[in-house]
Amino acid sequence: MKTVRFGVSMSPKLLQRFDESIAKKSYANRSEAIRDLIRESLVEIEWENSDEEVVGTITIIYSHTTRELVDKLTDFQHQAHQAIISTLHVHLDEHNCLEVMVVRGKSNFIREIAERLISTKGVKHGKLTMTSIGDKLA
Residue ranges in contact with Ni ion by CB under 5 A: 64, 91, 97
Q: How far is CA 129 from CA 8, 54, 78, in A?
A: 28, 10, 20
Q: Report in angstroms how near the CB of residue 113 gets to Ni ion at its nearest.
A: 20
Torsion of CA 25, 29, 33, 38, to 10 degrees: 180
Measured from each CB, the residue nearest to Ni ion is 97
User: Which CB, 62 or 128, lies closer to Ni ion?
Assistant: 62
User: In the complex, what is the shortest distance from the CB of residue 126 to Ni ion, in angstroms, rounded to a whole number?
Assistant: 16
CB of 101 to Ni ion, least distance (A): 14
Residue 122 DSSP class: T
Residue closer to Ni ion (CB basis): 32 or 75: 75
Least distance CB 82 / Ni ion (angstroms) = 24
Phi, psi torsion values for 105, nearest 5 degrees = 160, -165
- Considering the complex, state which of residue 58 and residue 97 has its C-beta at the smaller distance from Ni ion: 97
Least distance in angstroms from the C-beta of 20 to Ni ion: 35
User: Residue 24 or residue 78: which is nearer to Ni ion going by CB?
Assistant: 78
For residues 82 and 104, give the distance between their C-alpha atoms in angstroms, rounded to a whole number: 8
Task: Choose among 108, 102, 80, 78: nearest CA to 89.
Answer: 102
For residues 83 and 97, which CB has a smaller minimum distance to Ni ion in the complex?
Answer: 97
Instruction: Give the 3-state secondary structure of residue 11.
Output: coil
Q: Report the candidate in 114, 112, 109, 105 with the shortest Cα–Cα distance to residue 132.
A: 105
